[in-house]
């Protein structure tokens, strides 16, 4: 089955063609980072307008790169939520019209479940069940993944997502947006042990997160070292990053041990962070766990993961309809 995936949940307009949920024939992402950088974050109205401008050429490029035409498609999948409602409506509405015109089956896809399916686009995917850390700008959660379509929520952030904390700390230090890449790079020249920030493990037997306190601790350090902190920025971001990574890795390993599974995965935009990847591999290796992390280009928002997740939903007989609507927040039973 050849599925066209469409993703517009935030500030990337993406389209991809994937065969049988595994074989990526094409993947195109039009980023809006340069537009939103001047505002220090995503401006929802601007994001929606840029999606409107980009959706048709991005889909056409995805089809061209795959070497097919619309007539070769078997189905469509589009992000239904969670995300920015205006942005979601662009891609979801396009998918409705496109599928209706082509008389093809289509389905809405949960953006978070798509991230969890992104590890199946790597050469050696994990065996079910496995524990997964989904960490991005908007979400930080741990799931017990039972199948392509069955996910048990184990815990999540009570305030800021990890990626959001990176962005806010970067803004405090005047490093720009997005914060993840710049902090990741700058931290390589810093000493993670020079400045120690708190590790908010909360209850070490549970799987919730809280990153607001780390962000506040960084802000307090800046205020109390106003005359000298500028010379310490590499050490500040390195210490901050290490605190976040410590908590993420500990909770993920703990989740795998709790459920007795031998495979773990890290997905989402922050999964591109080199320090996080290295630490997960190191800690999991010591515990005899198999690690699965998507390639860098599949960590951030992309449509290949939407097409892959959509494929498995479509195989189960799930379909969306013309009266289906988007949703901004993740709905849990």
- The model's pLDDT over 275-320, given as tens digits with 9 standing for 90+, comes to 999 999 999 999 999 999 999 999 999 999 999 999 999 999 999 9
| Spatial CB neighbours of 1, under 8 Å, sequence gap ≥ 6 | 19, 20, 21, 74, 75, 311, 314, 315
CA distance 83 to 8: 8
Residue 235 has pLDDT above 90, yes or no: yes
End-to-end CA distance of the chain: 30
CA angle, residues 38, 40, 41, in degrees to nearest 5: 110
Residue 40 has pLDDT above 90, yes or no: no
- CATH for 125-293, among 3.40.630.30, 3.30.420.40, 3.30.300.30, 3.40.50.300? 3.30.420.40
Residue 138 has pLDDT above 70, yes or no: yes
CB neighbour class for 214 (10 Å; exposed up to 12, middle 13-18, buried from 19): buried
Which pLDDT belongs to residue 166? 96
Which pLDDT belongs to residue 329? 84
Asked if the peptide bond before residue 82 counts as cis, ω within 30 degrees of 0, the response is: yes
CB neighbour class for 132 (10 Å; exposed up to 12, middle 13-18, buried from 19): buried
331 — pLDDT class (breaks 50, 70, 90): low
333 — pLDDT class (breaks 50, 70, 90): very low
Cite the DSSP H helix spans in the chain. 33-37, 44-66, 85-102, 111-117, 162-172, 179-186, 212-224, 233-259, 274-287, 304-315
User: Fold identical between 2-116+299-315 and 125-293?
Assistant: yes
- Length of the chain counted residue by residue: 333
Choose among 52, 246, 252: nearest CA to 155: 252
CA distance 279 to 192: 13
Q: What is the pTM of this model?
A: 0.94
What Å distances lie between residue 304 and 57, 96, 252, CA to CA?
17, 18, 25
CA angle, residues 31, 33, 34, in degrees to nearest 5: 110
Domain parsing of the chain, residue ranges: 2-116+299-315, 125-293
Which pLDDT belongs to residue 20? 97
Average pLDDT, the chain: 95
Mean pLDDT for 208-231 is 95
What Å distances lie between residue 261 and 130, 153, 255, CA to CA?
6, 15, 9
Architecture of domain 2-116+299-315: 2-Layer Sandwich (3.30)
Per-residue burial over 218-240, b if 16 or more Cβ lie within 10 Å, else e, is beebbeeeeeebeebbbbbbbbb
Check: CB of residue 133 under 8 Å from CB of residue 251: yes
| Spatial CB neighbours of 330, under 8 Å, sequence gap ≥ 6 | 81, 82, 110, 112, 139
């Amino acid at each position: 089955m050849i599925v066209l995936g469409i993703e517009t949940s935030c500030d990337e307009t993406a389209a991809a063609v994937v065969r049988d949920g595994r074989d990526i024939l094409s993947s195109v992402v039009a980023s809006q980072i340069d537009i939103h950088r001047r505002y220090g974050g995503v401006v929802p109205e601007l994001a929606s307008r840029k999606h409107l401008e980009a959706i048709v050429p991005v889909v056409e490029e995805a089809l061209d790169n795959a070497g097919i035409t619309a007539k070769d498609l078997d189905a469509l999948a589009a992000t239904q939520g969670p995300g920015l409602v205006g942005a979601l409506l662009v891609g979801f509405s396009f998918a409705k019209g496109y599928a209706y015109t082509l008389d093809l089956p289509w389905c809405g896809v949960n953006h978070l479940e798509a991230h969890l399916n992104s590890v199946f686009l790597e050469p050696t995917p994990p065996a079910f069940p496995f524990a997964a850390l989904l960490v991005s700008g908007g979400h930080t959660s741990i799931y017990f993944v039972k199948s392509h379509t069955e996910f048990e929520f184990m815990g999540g952030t009570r305030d800021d997502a990890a990626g959001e904390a990176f962005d806010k700390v970067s803004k405090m230090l005047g490093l720009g947006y997005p914060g993840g890449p710049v902090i990741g790079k700058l931290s390589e020249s810093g000493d993670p042990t020079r400045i120690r920030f708190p590790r908010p493990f909360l209850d070490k037997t549970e799987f919730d997160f809280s990153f607001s306190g780390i962000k506040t601790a960084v802000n307090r350090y800046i205020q109390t070292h106003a005359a000298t902190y500028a010379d310490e920025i590499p050490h500040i971001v390195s210490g901050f990053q290490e605190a976040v990574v410590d908590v993420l890795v500990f909770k993920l390993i703990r989740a795998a041990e709790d459920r007795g599974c031998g495979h773990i995965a890290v997905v989402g935009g922050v999964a591109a962070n080199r320090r996080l990847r290295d630490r997960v591999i190191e800690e999991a290796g010591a515990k005899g766990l198999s690690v699965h992390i998507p390639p860098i280009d599949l960590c951030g928002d992309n449509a290949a993961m939407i097409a892959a997740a959509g494929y498995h939903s479509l195989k189960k007989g799930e379909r969306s309809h013309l009266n289906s609507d988007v949703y901004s927040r993740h709905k849990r039973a």
